[in-house]
Amino acid sequence: MTSTPSLELLEHVRSIAKAAGAAILEVYASDFAVTHKDDRSPLTAADRAAHTRIVAGLEALEPQLPVLSEESDHGRLGDRRSWQRYWLVDPLDGTKEFIKRNGEFTVNIALIDGGEPVLGVVLAPALDLEYCAVRGRGAFKRQTDGALETIRVTRPAASPLRVVGSRSHPSPELTGLLDAWGPHELKPMGSSLKICLVAEGSADIYPRLGPTSEWDTAAAQAVLECAGGSMIDTDGRPLIYNSKEDLLNPHFLAIGDDGRDWLAGLRHNQ
């Protein structure tokens, strides 16, 4: 049984994300170097600086809760399947966008309870843009120095369909799926902002038919679900977390209007 986090907890997490965003922007303004992990994905000092700030902040906030970050030593997390409640973090989602300096990168912090994201903060520091949510309390957006505003998905989906796709990870399978869905407009976007565009109602669907990890999606999934949307795999099941040995997501659809049979497009494309 999951519990509902408080808005006070959300405010603390927002502050931690803001501190991580400030650390990222310090590196962003410099002539930073790029290295690569074993899987050839890029890594910068900003990833490491944000990770350090976030882990320290979350451990001070809730000392009893484990923190699983993209930059954690995953080999030391063998007991994570026993975790009921924990933090799931991507300190810098969209490192390729960071390197390109297009601003479309985010800090992602999610609270997972019983395999479900119940709180999420997605901060795009270079754009001064933030999304956040708490289950049972709603989903919100803040631009520049403005106040938080409630967001909701769009129902019914627009015509032509507004589809958001990956800027750095295009999928060849996407073309056939879009043809099956019919008239559409495709908007490229980086990082977890794609899911947030569906949450705020400015896009109808984000189909991801390529690899992602659990830390890539959890915070934005919390925002989307609290805004009335959903994230489902290609069998129609909700995305859940910490349920298997690896940390990879299945292919998924982030949708706003759940009254439409989105999976028909996938079946048509098979």
Q: How confident is the model at residue 72 (pLDDT cuts 50, 70, 90)?
A: confident
Residue 3 has pLDDT above 90, yes or no: no
Closest residue by Cα to residue 221 from 94, 34, 84, 88: 88
Q: In the structure, what pLDDT confidence band is assigned to residue 76 with cuts at 50, 70 and 90? A: low
Over residues 5-63, the pLDDT tens digits come to 999 999 999 999 999 999 999 999 998 988 888 777 778 889 999 999 999 999 999 99
Decide if pLDDT at 270 tops 60.
no
pLDDT of residue 268: 59
The pLDDT of residue 183: 94
At residue 179, does pLDDT exceed 90? no
Nearest to 174, CA basis, from 165, 185, 182: 165
Q: Single out the residue of 75, 98, 265 nearest to residue 175, CA to CA.
A: 265
User: What pLDDT score does 176 carry?
Assistant: 82
| Under 8 Å between Cβ of 229 and 125 | no
Query: Which amino acid, residue 159?
Result: S
Confidence of residue 171 (pLDDT cuts 50, 70, 90): low
Query: Averaged over 77-94, what is the pLDDT?
Result: 89
pLDDT of the residue at 177:
86
* pLDDT, tens digit, 9 for 90 and up, residues 104-133: 999 999 999 999 999 999 999 999 999 999
**Mean pLDDT calculated for residue range 151-168:** 91
Q: Using CA atoms, how far apart are residues 78 and 95, in angstroms rounded to an integer? A: 27
pLDDT at 37: 81
Q: Which residue type is seen at 45?
A: A
Residue 170: band (very low, low, confident or very high) from pLDDT cuts 50, 70, 90: low
> What value does the mean pLDDT take over residues 161-187?
83
- Other C-beta atoms closer than 10 Å to the C-beta of 211 total 12
pLDDT (0 to 100) of residue 80: 87
pLDDT for 245: 85
Global pTM value: 0.94
For residues 230 and 256, the answer to whether their CB atoms sit within 8 Å is: no
Report pLDDT digits (tens) over 203-260: 999 999 989 999 999 999 999 999 999 999 999 999 999 998 889 999 999 999 999 9
pLDDT at 178: 87
Q: Which two tokens mark 128?
A: 């001064």
Amino acid letter, residue 180: A
- Burial environment of residue 52 by CB neighbours within 10 A (0 to 12, 13 to 18, 19 or more): middle
Return the closest-CA partner of residue 132 out of 6, 11, 255.
11
For 9-36, give one letter per residue: b (16+ CB within 10 A) or e. ebeebbebbbbbbebbeebbeeeeeeee
Residue 264 reports pLDDT greater than 90:
no
Angle between helices 45-61 and 7-28 (to 10 degrees): 160
Max intra-chain CA distance, the chain:
50
52's enclosing H/E stretch is helix 45-61
The burial of 128, by beta-carbon neighbours within 10 Å (0-12 exposed, 13-18 middle, 19 or more buried), is given as: middle
Domains of the chain: 7-150 (3.30.540.10), 161-269 (3.40.190.80)
